[in-house]
């Protein structure tokens, strides 16, 4: 037995053994609890479902849907993970919704 085996192990192996660079349980949950919904698996699944079911943006009716938009904004108390509160939206419509009013 020699110490040479330790030196022969590349440092990269350590990264390869950890496929998740940012484990969820290490993220502090106390900061903005209302802002965590977009990082949940439930949201990603629901958003994908909306994109499939409503392939054309419901706001402009032209561009292809790329994301799900909350009909009643989350800030206004709208349900976050409720399919009935979601509509398909393209990127510009989703991000520029406030500027339309």
Q: How many CB atoms lie within 10 A of CB 71?
A: 14
Name the β-bridge partners of 88.
Answer: 68
Rg of the chain in Å (alpha carbons): 21
Considering the rule CB under 5 A, would residue 90 count as an interface residue with Zn ion? yes
Q: Does 86 contact Zn ion by CB under 5 A?
A: no
The minimum distance between CB 77 and Zn ion, in angstroms, equals: 24
46 binds Zn ion (CB under 5 A): no
- Dmax over CA atoms of the chain, in Å, equals 73
Residue 71 sits in the site that holds Zn ion (CB under 5 A) = no
Binding site for Zn ion (CB under 5 A): 57, 59-60, 63, 90, 93
């Amino acid at each position: 037995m020699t110490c040479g085996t330790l030196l022969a192990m590349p440092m990269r192996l350590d990264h390869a053994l950890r496929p998740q660079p940012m484990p969820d349980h290490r993220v502090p949950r106390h900061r903005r609890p209302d802002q965590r919904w977009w990082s949940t698996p439930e949201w990603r699944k629901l958003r994908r479902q909306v994109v499939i079911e409503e392939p054309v943006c419901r706001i402009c009716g032209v561009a292809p849907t790329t994301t799900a938009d909350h009909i009643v904004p989350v800030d206004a108390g709208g349900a976050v993970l409720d399919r009935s509160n979601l509509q398909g939206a393209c990127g510009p419509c989703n991000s520029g919704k406030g500027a339309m009013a």
